[in-house]
Structure 1
Amino acid sequence: MHCQTCGDVASPVDPDCQRCGTPFGQPPVLPGLPTYPVRGLGTAAAVAVGAATVLYLPGALFPLVGTRMARAAAEQGDRDLLMGAAVAELLLGLPYLLALLTAAVLVIIWTWRARKNIDAFPGALPSLGPGWAIAGWLVPFANFVVPARVVANIARDSLLRRTTPALVGVWWAAWLVFSVGDRLVSRGDDKRYSRLTEWPQNDVEYDSYVRYYQDALGGRLLLSVACLVAGISFVVLIRRVSAAQQDRLARAVPAWPGHPGWTGPAAPVAPASVGPVPAAPAPVAPVPAASAPDPAPPAPAGAGPDAPSVTSPPPPPGPGGTIGA
């Protein structure tokens, strides 16, 4: 016997598949339970995550440009360059925020669908309900642990693994470093920027802007690396899980028509014990009323029952006839 999910050979001592944990004899997907397509949504979520990852880099690496603009402002005594640097950094962050919001919505929907699907996979052992696929991202403090557990369940039961894939740990560790570090770095940058002179008038005040951008570069480079690792690993994870689930759902759908030469419903076959079906009798044409025979005329009055009727044959000749007279 082979497992209908992964195709491995059954073990004589273990009722469950050694590779994917599916009980032998079970179909790839349990009938009667709702399932959801994830390939298209997974592609959209992966694209959004990739876009947010790429769009974060220009804002994170802006201190390289800000340092040059601050030095040019100090050399020319142009305060407008400093204001232009602040506005440019703000504008570079807007596309990233839009892409991040889009990615967050798509990822939450994808996580919920993927979590619902594994309820229909025989042998799956999720530890958290489908509701946590949404609430886990939104509840404070829980969002440091719950999303990783939900995605770990999805990855194990979708990729036919007994243990959590290492890619889940890489993604979540990088995401925690990025999300927590981004908040800390942003708060530190805001405090240091608030201490700068709004309208610098001498070289010392202009140089404080140069040092501000130089100090901001180190932390943002670390965040850029964490963002790249988290974004790339999560895109790969979404693509793998979506493909695995969609292939498993496709194996549970029967092919139609049943065979390549199918053209329509076949004629019913009579059982072997039943003889040939007799042909139906030919229909009999109705006889017209005009061709019906006329009724016999009534017998003449006084005739007995032995008297011949006009339609009876004549009696045979008896002896004593004219022959021999």
Structure 2
Amino acid sequence: MSYTPPSMPVAPPPPSAPGPGAWLKSPVGLANGTVALLGVGIATDLFSLWAGGGVFGVVSDLIDGGLGTVTEDRADRADSLYAASGVFQVAALVGTAVLFLCWFRRVRVNAEVFAPDGHSMSRGWAVGAWFVPVANLWFPRRVAVDIWDASSEGRWLPGGAPQAGRRTLLNAWWTLWITSSVFGWIASQQYRKAEEPEKIKNAVVSLMASDLLSIAAAVLAILFVRRLTAMQGAKARSGPGSPTHA
């Protein structure tokens, strides 16, 4: 009668074949471009903060001293700069979104090579999940979690189940991104509807707070992109079917 020592590691299950069209390709170039555009987005948010401060000052002077305390040129300049900052932010957001989605799909395809059976959603959701109303509040995170787990140097638990790596950075990025997006939409609606000086002032404060949240979310997005890209590089060098054992 044979005996297997309790300390013997449990071997992982044999890997399944990845889906058609799935092959490893370096995401570094797309990651670098995404990080650069996220940096541009941060710059536009900083410009918006500065321009918002100008509008805040104009409105505050109007409230405190009346129309005679603010010249028309000053008011027009502050309003034009703030409007321009909004255009810059939208342009940066669109450019970043396009490149981020290209990177996100690339790392999803790579993750399918690493763990063909480790995905709860099909490959097309790497892009499509972001455009489904309401569901885009959690569907992209599900895709990101599967990519993260497949790309991590996880350990095999007894029974052959993979143990995922820690998702602290992923969860922090996603939470702050959702928070900044929802808060930004609310602040934009508040500013669009504001007509009285006091309401405009409050709306500008909300928009400036939204800019700060956006900057923080962008910083975490940069860290997330860099970390996941590095994880996939390490995983590719070690081989998709060679996890460590508990």
TM-score tier by shorter-chain length is 0.7 to 0.9
Unaligned runs of 5+ in 1: 1-10, 17-22, 197-207, 253-325
What is the CA–CA distance in structure 1 between the aligned matches of 2:204 and 2:22, rounded to whole Å?
Answer: 52
CA RMSD of aligned residues (A): 2.8
**Alpha-carbon distance, 1:33 to partner:** 4.8
2:98 counterpart of 1:98: no
Residue from 119, 138, 156 that aligns with 2:112? 119
Higher helix share: 2
Write the deviation string for residues 82-138 of structure 1: whole angstroms up to 9, x where unpaired.
Answer: 222221111122222111111100111111110111111147611111100010111
Aligned ranges 1:64-79 → 2 under 5 Å: 64-70=53-59, 71=61, 74-76=67-69, 78-79=71-72
Structure 2 unaligned residues grouped into runs of 5+: 1-6, 155-163, 240-246
Cα distance in 2 for residues equivalent to 1:220 and 1:61: 12
**Counterpart check, 1:12 vs 2:4:** no
Q: TM-score, normalised by structure 2?
A: 0.77
The alpha carbon displacement at 1:58 in A equals 2.2
Q: Distance in 2 between matches of 1:179 and 1:92?
A: 17
Pair 1:34-2:30 in alignment? no
Q: Label 1:67 to 1:227 Cα distance change in 2 as closer, same or farther (>3 A).
A: closer
Question: Residues 213, 34 of structure 1: CA spacing in aligned structure 2 closer, same or farther, 3 A cutoff?
Answer: same
Q: Which residue of structure 1 lines up, in the alignment, with residue 220 of structure 2?
A: 233
Q: Tell me, in whole angstroms, the C-alpha distance in 2 between the residues paired with 1:164 and 1:152.
A: 10
Alignment of 1:197-208 (within 5 A): 208=197
Aligned 8 A contact 2:58 2:70 in 1: no
SS of residue matched to 1:160: coil
* Structure 2 CA distance for aligned equivalents of residues 15 and 177 of structure 1: 41
Question: How is 1:20-169 mapped onto 2 (pairs within 5 angstroms)?
Answer: 23=13, 33-70=22-59, 71=61, 74-76=67-69, 78-122=71-115, 125-161=118-154, 162-163=164-165, 165-169=167-171
TM-score of the superposed pair, with normalisation by structure 1:
0.60
Cα offset for 1:79?
2.7
Bigger shift: 104-113 or 223-232? 223-232
Query: Highest Rg: 1 or 2?
Result: 1
Q: Give % identity.
A: 22
- By relative contact order (CA 8 Å, sep 6+), the higher-ranking structure is 2
Answer whether contact 1:38 1:242 (CA < 8 A) is retained. Answer: yes
1:265-309 deviation digits (Å, cap 9, x = unpaired): xxxxxxxxxxxxxxxxxxxxxxxxxxxxxxxxxxxxxxxxxxxxx
Q: Name the amino acid aligned to 2:25.
A: Y
| Alignment match, 1:190 | 192
Secondary structure of the residue that 1:97 maps to in structure 2?
A: helix
Asked if structure 1 preserves the Cα contact closer than 8 Å seen for 2:38 and 2:218, the reply is: yes
| Equivalent-residue separation in structure 1 for 2:56 and 2:116 (angstroms) | 57
* Pair 74,62 (structure 1): closer, same or farther in 2 beyond 3 Å: same
Higher mean displacement: 214-223 or 84-93? 214-223
Count of aligned positions: 218
